[in-house]
Amino acid sequence: MSHTQEELTARLQENTTHSKKEKLVIINKEIPFEEESRGLDPRVKEFLTNEADPHGRRPLEIDDLEITRKRVELNNKDLSSGIRSEALEIPMEDHEVSLNIYNRTTEKKPVLVYLHGGGFFERDMDVMENICKFLAQEAHAVVVGVEYRLAPEYPYQDGLNDCLGTVRYIYENPEKFNVDVDQIGLVGDSVGGNLALGVHQLSLEEKWNICYIGMLCPLVDLSDISRNTWNINHYDMSKDAELIRQELVTMKDSLSFIQALYLTNLEDMFLPLVSPLLRADKTNLPPTTIVTAEFDFLRIQGEEFSAQLLEAEVPVRHFKYKGMDHAFVRKLGYYPQSADAIKEVSRHFLEVLQK
């Protein structure tokens, strides 16, 4: 029996299980209508087997940079109901930053600043537009997507400064966005989660307050620290082992490529602004949602980060999506887990605002 996206998403909302990793409680989202199965979600398996570029599923090298940037991968759909988008250029000290604004209306709303992934080197806002629209709708917020400067032309900390500067611009010009600057949250996918944590750390010295952070399959450690605890035996390889191993090893080996592009000094990988997992004091972080994928290399460090937040008594909600790979949130409208993850981030954000 085939199911519609609506039925699959509803099933994810209705069925969750819980597991514990030491003190961390993980909310598990099983494969809808196949809750007892193992291995890859059938939609992920079909994509990796039949649609994914086999040449792209290997560790990245410097010669891949322009090829990857030119690749158009709009494998998602607009699930929002008429959410309006606008473009805006804002001034920085010696350049401008392009913003994409979603859901700005005459009604003043909270604001979520969205920081896209793409390894610090890809321009991903086109890919993430439909995700931002759906997030704006579900969170009843204005979402501002940031086109930060990219490595290697602009290495650490240029892109991070653009993200921080965007929050500063919103705070100083709320009338342009019609937002409540007492309700600023950050959401990021992959390296966007890394940038969100960096923006929060730098915001501690600013006038505004970040009230919430949502991270989707985040990269929280660019050093080798968490890789010392990583082991392929942490993953259930009883089914689809070859495809899963290829995904895990490709991501693991590509982190060296990302290090080389993003950092002019490799010693910077140990800085908390680069590897937030190493941030000593996490007690000042706001309520946080962390979404992980079962077959993502970054899952282990995401779980470690959540455990650190728990230890620091930061309210953290940690989800693991069974059968999913790293970039599943990009497949909105094809993978029901993408819509569900955005709904969970939005729900937590709204609960934080109500408190």
Q: Please write the tens of the pLDDT for every residue from 260-313.
A: 999 999 999 999 999 999 999 999 999 999 999 999 999 999 999 999 999 999
Position 63 scores a pLDDT of: 63
* Predicted confidence band of residue 58 (pLDDT cuts 50, 70, 90): low
Tokens, residue 44: 């992920």
Residue keyed to tokens 């069925």: 15
Q: What number of helices (H) and strands (E) belong to the chain?
A: 10, 10
- To the nearest 10 degrees (0 to 180), the angle between helices 191-203 and 158-172 is 60
Backbone torsion region of residue 91, taken as left when φ is above 0, otherwise alpha when ψ lies between -120 and 50, otherwise beta: beta
Residue keyed to tokens 């620290």: 225
Q: What is the spatial distance between Cα 131 and Cα 257, in angstroms, rounded to a whole number?
A: 27
Q: What is the spatial distance between Cα 296 and Cα 300, in angstroms, rounded to a whole number?
A: 8
* Predicted confidence band of residue 105 (pLDDT cuts 50, 70, 90): very high
Cβ-Cβ contacts under 8 Å for 290 (sequence gap 6 or more): 215, 218, 302, 305, 306, 316, 317, 318, 319
